A and B are shown apart, each in its own frame.
Chain A
Amino acid sequence: MIARLFLIFSWALGGAVILLAQPAFVGPAPSRAILPTPELQRAAYLARIDEILAWRSSQAKPGELFPEMTMIATKLALHQDAELCSRSVIALMKTPASGPFWMFPTVNVAFLGRDQLSLEARQSIRKAWSREMQIRGDTENHWVMYYTSLYLMAELYPHEPGSSWYSGKSSEENLAEAKAYLIDWMNLATTVGQGEFNPTHYIGEYAIPMLYLATWAQDPAMRLRGKMTLDWLFADLAENTLNGVLHGANARTDDISVIERGKALASFFSWVLFGNVPPIAAYGGWGIYFATVAQNYELPEVIYRIAVDRPSDYLQRDLKRTRRRWRNSDVLMAPIYKTNYTRRDYAVGSYQGGLADPIQTHVWDVTWDVPDPRGVHNTMFSMHPVSSSYDLQTYFAELPDQMAKEVTKEGKASYDSPDKFLGGSRFEQVFQDLDTVIALYDIPVGTRFPHINGFLSKDLLQLTVDPSGWIFAQGGSCYLAYRPLAAYQLRPVARVKSSMTGERASLGDQQLFSPYLKNGTIVQAAAVSEFKDFAAFQAAIRALPLSFQLATKPTVTFQTLRGKVVTCTFGAAPIVNGQPFDYTPWKLFEGPYLNAEKGAGRLTITHGALERILDFKTLSITDRVKL
């Protein structure tokens, strides 16, 4: 199943998108100057959209049919070449594909082309939706794309019988089912927490359908829901970015984004929305589908300012949830307690460990700011590489033995690789206090890949292995102290260049390989500006009281640079200054920028005097300027 969706994923991206020079991608990093007024912010946003559309449009080959949907969508958005668009649509609809990655681009073209495509072209789309059984998929992002697409098409073609839809259901039945799913998903995400939270690339799978819903739904309530969900997603993105770069924990990421933090579709969204980071190549492909409709979204100034204007350090705590667990768990979806501590020069992010997603979870890191993130591996973390049919069966309704093999062939090539840096583990427990992270590992005997991997970037400066056991380094304007708790080797690592193919290249990074089942990592970050020099930072770290034992249950007691005494024992609640740390009172969002009570469906977005409240219970948006 995943295989088929993957093929359609490639199709939707337009495998033939040519990497011609994109102005923002090849140009200098954007200015970080804050645009002072909503008018200027809006103008800059629209200019970026124009850039995308102009770039994609310029790739059309004169006289040739458009080979895939991003080009057609772009031309329709620009009101160009309608006749050629029609012929191209007719040609493509002769062999319709299946699945959400086919559905939402087709919806895009169907709506943009309502008054531009020929009757025959529009009928070809409609016919494709009649005859080709659409795969719904098996994950949350699949379903959001699938049901948003179905919802919009059912509204576009109302009062038609089941015989005219692949589902066998009438327009009204399709509409009701799609609406019910979308409302249920929104309720879940806004009361219990988002499932595929802070994804580096799957953000497109949510943002694009919500933009379409906000733009084209006839039902004003669903349009409003789409807009509010977009605000929700983008506020969450803004909170978790450091000058446009998504950092910290991700429910789902990939082999590239986890290392080169700026090389993510999330950066496309930061660029187009906030203008504070370069976009990725080809705008990630998906970005084009967003751009064709993006003028219909108006980014609230309060979100813009959260992304670009941070007057001080901040601590944000958020509640998320895991993917559904079919088996091997006492709960269907476990809570994720996510911490984000962001300063001017770096950010530290984490959740408590375990698997949010079976394959692509990233649990914690320190990410430092760089003037231009392109090509920079601006992050540090450790992890336990997992390849486990048990874990896959927890989340997939499949038999045990083939899954790892299938996963590696279906876009997650590193899954069964011992030197990967992607993925969470049931045998990792993490605690973060401000800019200190303690990660403990208690890996059972017999576990495949019985070791941990630490990531030491090629971009670290002054990497120093200290006799004290600490490894010191500098990343940008951030000092880093990394303390492995068990013996290790530093190895050059051939980093995965492509999650799809598994192609690797040695780019100068190092793997901290530690083959001990009971293990741990402490990372303490600090700003360069806090110390006279690197030596002073090292001296301060060496002076911090630290004790640990790994023989039974790994246990660490560490006095952080910020003066807290933290004791972590694998399998037990952390203790901070003598008090057990309790996650259970955590709210859905709590911090200076985002606040929401658990179960309330009501998010308050704040920056300075600006405030926006998204209330899903009353379906209302309230803006105010606090006096």
Chain B
Amino acid sequence: MSKIKIASALFISLVAALGAAAGPSHDLVLCVTFRVPGGLTATALPVPLPPCGLHQRGTDNRFTHFGPNYPRFNNLARDPRDPRVLYAASLNGVLCSTDGGEVWRIGTSWDMTEPRDVCIDPHAPDHIYLALPDGIAVSKDRGLTWPRRETGLPDRGKYMQVVKVDRTQAGRVLAGCESGIYLTETAAQSWRRVFTTQTTITDLQQSPHDAQLWLATTQSDGALRSRDGGRTWEKIAGVPAAAALYNIAFDATTARRYAVASWTYGILTTEDGGETWSERNVGLPVPHRVFRLGIDPDNGRLYAGVYEEAVYESLDFGRTWRSAGFEHSVVYNFVFLPRFANSPALAHLP
């Protein structure tokens, strides 16, 4: 990608951010599926269910389904240059749209299945990274082709749950795998392991306040922190490690607030940069099997997807909760996409 294109993309992103300053600067999209209450065997035939797939929050705070009625999206990424260009990690592979989600194309072929995550390099938006159960594919042509880029990853242990691009440097990417955290600084030409685990890394996040600060969750090693851009990692004391942690999020509105989701522990929060942690589950269903959480970067609102129960939201960082709908759902991701100025959030919305 040329320097001119990169500059152009950054300019558009900047304009987008400035243009949205008056209102929310992010779109929220839920990757969600719905389950028949009482289990599938409650009925012999399909019963009416809300459409599964992608649900976007509108300006009226109501959610609208778009895209296919499809049971498994793990993440959604949007081209920072063009709000109509979307990439979704789905059961079938990566789904690509160039019209804001009306029409989709399965971008990958038969030899890639069940990608767990997808992300775009904001400094090289033609580059899209796709985390796979057996490694990683990287498209450098806006999703037209998906070659594998696995030099440096082990033959086994490269099950990849999460992939995230460092927003400060093109081609710098962190990947969470079965055997640890891997880093590339060459747009996946080569990878090196920067942290070793026995079981899977479940999430990686870069701080919106400090680009050198990264957090990770794991299945059996608790929560991790890196203060040097992901080169080295340390365990965060005070976060339990006996059971799996599912994901972690920064509060973009308050620098030292993070939250962790866990099937076992529910919601864990810190407001002092990880020094102390609290369980914040009062008001959530019991058992509080939190499958996914998200923090709205515009207002710090905390969302919890409680497995097969509903989505809950908290305006006070987990001290109290209220239902936000989506009964009988499983939320695979709360996706906050930077909003574009003077353009509809996604093409399907009026």
Contact = CB atoms under 8 A, between A and B. Distances in A.
A4 B90 CA distance: 14
B289 A332 contact: no
Interface stretch (A196-204, A304-312, A375-383, A399-407): A399-407
Interface string A399-430: 11110000001110100000000000000000
Contact of B40 (A6, A132, A329, A399): A6
B105 interface: yes
Given A184-B110, A502-B41, A327 B178 contact: yes
Given A3-B35, A98-B70, A138-B91, A401 B113 contact: no
B178 A3 contact: no
Contacts of A1: 33, 71-72, 91
A331 B134 CA distance: 11
Interface in A188-241: none
Contact of B159 (A132, A327, A413): A327
Interface in B161-198: 178
Contacts, number: 118
B291 A397 contact: no
A134 B68 CA distance: 9
Contacts of B244: 399-401
Interface string B125-164: 0000000011000000000000000000000110100000
B149 to A, nearest CB: 19
B2 to A, nearest CB: 28
A70 B104 CA distance: 31
Interface stretch (B6-14, B44-52, B316-324): B44-52
A3 B40 contact: yes
A502 B244 CA distance: 29
Contacts of B219: 400
A136 B289 contact: no
Contacts of A97: 46
Interface string B65-92: 0001111100000000000000000011
B44 A10 contact: yes
Q: Which of A1, A97, A411, A500 has the most CB of B within 10 A?
A: A1
Contact of A143 (B96, B110, B291): B110
Interface stretch (A38-46, A162-170, A347-355, A592-600): A162-170
Interface residues of A, number: 52
B114 interface: yes
A168 B96 CA distance: 9
A15 B263 contact: no
Given A135-B70, A138-B91, A331 B45 contact: no
A329 B156 contact: yes
A400 to B, nearest CB: 5
Given A6-B40, A326-B134, A410-B40, A397 B45 contact: no
A71 to B, nearest CB: 15
Given A1-B71, A401-B289, A409-B39, A168 B113 contact: no
A567 B41 CA distance: 46
Given A326-B133, A402-B289, A409 B106 contact: no
B41 A399 contact: no
A533 interface: no
Nearest to B134: A326
A399 B156 contact: no
A169 B104 CA distance: 9
Nearest to B35: A3
A169 B44 CA distance: 34
A494 interface: no
B103 interface: yes
A136 B246 contact: no
Q: Which of B33, B40, B92, B263 has the most CB of A within 10 A?
A: B40
A330 interface: yes
Contacts of A8: 46
Contacts of A137: 91
B109 A402 contact: no
Given A11-B46, A402-B291, A402-B307, A177 B110 contact: yes
A253 to B, nearest CB: 19
Contacts of B110: 143, 147, 177-178, 180-181, 184
Nearest to A150: B110
Interface string B87-129: 0000111001000000111100111011010000000000000
B265 to A, nearest CB: 11
14 contacts: A1-B72, A3-B33, A6-B40, A11-B45, A15-B44, A166-B68, A168-B103, A180-B109, A324-B134, A397-B114, A399-B291, A402-B291, A409-B39, A410-B40
Given A402-B263, A502-B41, 4 more contacts: A10-B46, A168-B96, A177-B110, A181-B111
Interface of B: 33, 35-36, 39-41, 44-46, 52, 68-72, 91-93, 96, 103-106, 109-111, 113-114, 116, 133-134, 156-157, 159, 178, 200, 202, 219, 243-244, 246, 263-264, 289, 291, 307, 330
Interface of A: 1, 3-4, 6-8, 10-11, 15, 97-98, 132-138, 143, 147, 162-163, 166-169, 177-178, 180-181, 184, 324, 326-332, 393, 397, 399-402, 409-411, 413, 500-502
